[in-house]
Amino acid sequence: MIIFMVSLLVILMLIAAIAACVFKDLLGAVIASCLVSLIAAVLFYILQAPDVAMAEAAIGAALVTAVFIIAIIRTKRHEE
């Protein structure tokens, strides 16, 4: 059961990572990279590293996303 869940999460994480690279809409790419961080946090928790999971969720999913979105506000939303 846990193997099934972990493999599902890893596949989702891979899809999100590829999406973050491929998307031309940079806001969508930022959200996809946020999803990567979020799933990484869940995986860290499953791997019994709750300290790292908390840091990853707070920094990777919240703060880095905020910084990227501020950068998008200052530049352009769509990649040429």
Binding site for another protein (CB under 8 A): 50-51, 53-55, 58-59, 62-63, 66-67, 70-71, 73-74
Name which of 22 and 78 has its Cβ closer to another protein.
Answer: 78
* Beta carbon of residue 79, minimum distance to another protein (angstroms, whole number): 19
d(CA 71, CA 2): 38
Name which of 51 and 80 has its Cβ closer to another protein.
Answer: 51
